[in-house]
Amino acid sequence: MKSIWDSFRLDGKRSFVTGSSRGIGKAIAMALGEAGAEVIFHGSQPGEKLAATLEEAKKKKIQCRSVTGDLSDPEQVQHLISSVGEIDILVLNASVQKYQRVPEFNMKEFETEFRVNVGSAFLLIQGFLPGMLQKKWGRVISLGSVNQWKQSPRLAVYAATKSALCNLIQNCAREYGKDGITFNNIAPGVIATDRNQAVLSDPQQSAEILKLIPAGRFGQAEDMAGLALLLCSEAGSYLTGSDIPVAGGRQL
Ligand code: NAP
């Protein structure tokens, strides 16, 4: 008889996690790999972090390789789709986040943020969906943010990209629910990764932010991994169109 743990296994599944050279993407990719999936790691360009992550995964006996490409460039996204090949699991994790007030944004910066955070997600879904439809099985997860609900003066553009991404995902959930493909959004709170290092290493700023988090601590990248695994596995097959904060209560 099958145990509940079997329904979390991902043996035989192929996964692609954008922005998995480090941070949350890396933690999710490692979890999928440890559950038996083949993992295709990704970074914007070749570098030490991506190489070290791949090495770490190989040591864990995860079947893996890496690809690189700038997601702000649609041609590079198309190249990624063909070099990755068919997959069962797509994790839309990479993003650009510019702390800047609205009047300071120029159109190029605005477009870059939308191209990486929303445009590449659209192209990747478009590219990988036909294979999932053929197999009648697929998992797509996007990384949103508590900024979808919690407004911040310097993150208006970033928050708008995350709400747009979540909306895209939820519309796809409705459209492909009968095809065995689930689409869900994970919305992290304040997670201690490279992008927050400057703010969180400032004692005054970090103390102010900490007051807003009911759990009383900043999240770690690995805090996202359990939910991601659930959403990617058979155990999560009845979860679709969900938008789930993993934020220590910061969404309240
Ligand atoms: P991170 O540590 O800053 O890592 C970003 C990843 O995205 C890296 O792998 C980076 O590749 C890749 N990337 C960045 N720009 C790219 C581009 N133009 N083309 C291709 N790849 C690109 O990120 P994180 O903090 O783990 O965040 C992961 C996700 O969670 C993001 O969607 C973020 O918006 C979301 N999130 C994070 C937090 C948080 O507090 N950390 C909170 C809410 C939501 P390279 O290594 O090559 O640069």
Nearest CA to ligand 1 atom 10: 19
How far is 157 from 203, CA to CA, in rounded Å?
A: 27
Average pLDDT for 108-135: 98
| The predicted structure's pLDDT at residue 2 | 81
Closest-lying ligand 1 atom to the alpha carbon of residue 42? 9
How far is 60 from 33, CA to CA, in rounded Å?
A: 9
Residue type, 188: P
pLDDT tens digit sequence for 185-207: 999 999 999 999 999 999 999 99
Is residue 1's pLDDT more than 80?
no
Nearest CA to ligand 1 atom 35: 143
CA 145 to ligand 1 centroid distance, Å? 12
Nearest CA to ligand 1 atom 34: 95
Nearest CA to ligand 1 atom 48: 44
Average pLDDT for 202-229: 97
Average pLDDT for 227-250: 98
| Ligand 1 contacts CB of residue 73 (under 6 A) | no
C-alpha dist (Å) from residue 25 to 8, 22, 177, 214: 19, 6, 25, 24
How far is 101 from 205, CA to CA, in rounded Å?
A: 18
CA 41 to ligand 1 centroid distance, Å? 13
| The predicted structure's pLDDT at residue 159 | 98
Average pLDDT for 45-74: 98
Average pLDDT for 160-181: 98
| The predicted structure's pLDDT at residue 149 | 96
| The predicted structure's pLDDT at residue 144 | 98
| Ligand 1 contacts CB of residue 112 (under 6 A) | no
| The predicted structure's pLDDT at residue 153 | 82
**How many percent of the chain have pLDDT more than 70?**
100
How far is 138 from 128, CA to CA, in rounded Å?
A: 9
| The predicted structure's pLDDT at residue 247 | 98
Average pLDDT for 226-250: 98
Active site residue 99: no
How far is 38 from 64, CA to CA, in rounded Å?
A: 6
| Ligand 1 contacts CB of residue 228 (under 6 A) | no
| Ligand 1 contacts CB of residue 152 (under 6 A) | no
pLDDT tens digit sequence for 64-102: 999 999 999 999 999 999 999 999 999 999 999 999 999
pLDDT tens digit sequence for 11-25: 999 999 999 999 999
Backbone angles phi, psi at 17, to 5 degrees: -120, 115
pLDDT tens digit sequence for 127-162: 999 999 999 999 999 999 999 999 988 999 999 999
Q: What is the pTM of this model?
A: 0.98
CA 97 to ligand 1 centroid distance, Å? 8
CA 163 to ligand 1 centroid distance, Å? 16
| The predicted structure's pLDDT at residue 152 | 87
